[in-house]
Amino acid sequence: MSGAPVIRVSGIRKTSGKTVAVDDVFFEVPAGKIFGLIGPNDAGKTTKVECVEGLRRPDRGQIEAFGLDPITDAHALQRRLGVQLQEAHLQNRIKVWEAVGLWFDTSVDTDAMLDQLGLSEKRNA
């Protein structure tokens, strides 16, 4: 059973000069679901994600994530939204618990987070 949407993207468009990166895109992400964007190079995947994160402002359309506007509520949204891009570059030999600590502020209980993600057994991997 799916929860109510935590992310709603309605009719967004984003251009860069004469290039249309995203045009009339709609999607929702239900609570409790993992969501991924796949497609060929230059399909606008990164642009869509950056708009949801508040790193780019769409030319038109609306985005809501956890009830927040990614542009006006960017700081609050960054505390709630986790994004993993195709590639991440971490230091060699970094442990899982250290990586989690890099992405969350000190108020997050790293051990509880690893339990929640099912990664406790890989804590020191």
pLDDT of residue 1: 46
Distance (Å) of CA 7 to CA 2, 46, 66: 13, 16, 6
pLDDT of residue 106: 67
Query: Which among 60, 115, 82 has a CA at the least distance from the CA of 6?
Result: 82
| % helix, strand, coil for the chain, step of 5 | 25, 25, 50
47 membership: H or E segment, kind and range: helix 45-53
What six digits make up the tokens of 35?
A: 């969501």
**13-17, 47-51, 64-68, 99-103: least confidently modelled range:** 99-103
- Could you read off the pLDDT of 47-62 as tens digits, one per residue? 999 999 998 999 999 9
80-114: per-residue pLDDT in tens?
887 766 666 667 788 888 887 777 666 778 888 88
Domains, the chain, ranges and CATH? 5-78 (3.40.50.300), 89-125 (no CATH)
